[in-house]
Amino acid sequence: MIASSIAEIPLVETQPPRLFESMPRDVPPAPPRAGRSIRGLLLPLLRQVSESDLMRADSLGFWRAGGEAFFLPRFVFQRTRTAKPRIKVAIFAGVHGDEPAGVLGLIELVRALHARPEMGRDYQLWLYPLCNPTGYVDGTRESRFGKDLNREFWRDSSEPEVRLLEEELRRENFHGIISLHSDDTSDGVYGFAGSATLNEHLLRPALAAAQNALPRNDAARIDGFHAEGGVIHSAYDGTLSAPPGGAPAPFEIVLETPQRASLRLQRHAFLFALHAILSEYRRMISYAQNI
């Protein structure tokens, strides 16, 4: 059965690094630079997914930077093989390479779905835990080409990560888009809801759930924007988002944790918030269908 409370969501400690044995032989992986290894990050997860009938792992594509090869991993979860309409939600993390909490939080969600698949009932979840692999390896906010990828979307960017993700966003027509970030100036969790009322109705329960791990940022101004109860309705230009002009528009939420908090608490806050969003949106869809 689905977890009825935060306490029932399975939490799994991060495993130690291992060799990335499943990397294609003809594409040598990038070596770690800032003490971060993509092999060590993803291999335990890929081994787990390989044993699951509910999840598959692949890549959006490969590219080279500085003579090294990188790829953009993708995980897709579907609880059963039954043919029926499903809610397609995409969750992105690691757009900024120096924000590992979102990466670990999304990996935690994969583990939780493996342990308790009912959490993803009625959904097809598309998970992108490492959207800036060069930045992750280097420990930098920007990609190795010096670009802040979260200012490059829908601006005819030449960045390979952005191009691959834009193609994916155009192709899949998601019902919802969630991005995970960490803020080194914040003392609590908060989020961007944009102007859509639906986004706010999903974000507020997510922030309430995240408070089981970390406090909420209740400041009147966060990251230069007006905020109320941790909810911001403005946004930066060029952020990861749905294709412009698409209809119907998906719900879009950005979750932010305080980067100075422990990684353990941040990844738990992300897991709790994601569970709340999925539960609330499923409830809203079910209610609408019964009207």
| Gap between the Cα atoms of 46 and 57, Å rounded | 7
**Residue 73: count of CB within 10 angstroms of its CB:** 20
Domain membership of residue 6 (yes or no) is no
List the CATH number of the domain containing 79: 3.40.630.10
pLDDT at 20 over 80: no
| Gap between the Cα atoms of 258 and 280, Å rounded | 24
Domain membership of residue 271 (yes or no) is yes
pLDDT at 6 over 70: no
* For range 124-149, the mean pLDDT: 97
Domain membership of residue 279 (yes or no) is yes
Domain membership of residue 15 (yes or no) is no
Tokens of 57: 């792992």
Domain membership of residue 210 (yes or no) is yes
- Domain with 57, as residue range(s), is 22-289
| Gap between the Cα atoms of 281 and 86, Å rounded | 12
The tally of domains found in the chain comes to: 1
Domain membership of residue 7 (yes or no) is no
| Gap between the Cα atoms of 78 and 126, Å rounded | 9
Residue 183: strand, helix, or coil: strand
| Gap between the Cα atoms of 214 and 281, Å rounded | 23
Q: What's residue 11's pLDDT?
A: 46
Whether 276 contacts 208, CB under 8 Å: yes
Higher pLDDT, 23 or 49: 49
> Over pLDDT 70: what percentage of the chain?
87
pLDDT digits (tens, 9 = 90+) for 93-117: 999 999 999 999 999 999 999 999 9
Question: Beta strand 231-232 with 190-192: parallel, antiparallel or unpaired?
Answer: parallel
Per-chain mean pLDDT for the chain:
88
pTM of the model: 0.88
pLDDT at 25 over 80: no
pLDDT digits (tens, 9 = 90+) for 240-267: 999 998 888 999 999 999 999 999 999 9
Whether 110 contacts 49, CB under 8 Å: yes
Domain membership of residue 129 (yes or no) is yes
Residue 241: strand, helix, or coil: coil
Domain membership of residue 282 (yes or no) is yes
Whether 95 contacts 131, CB under 8 Å: yes
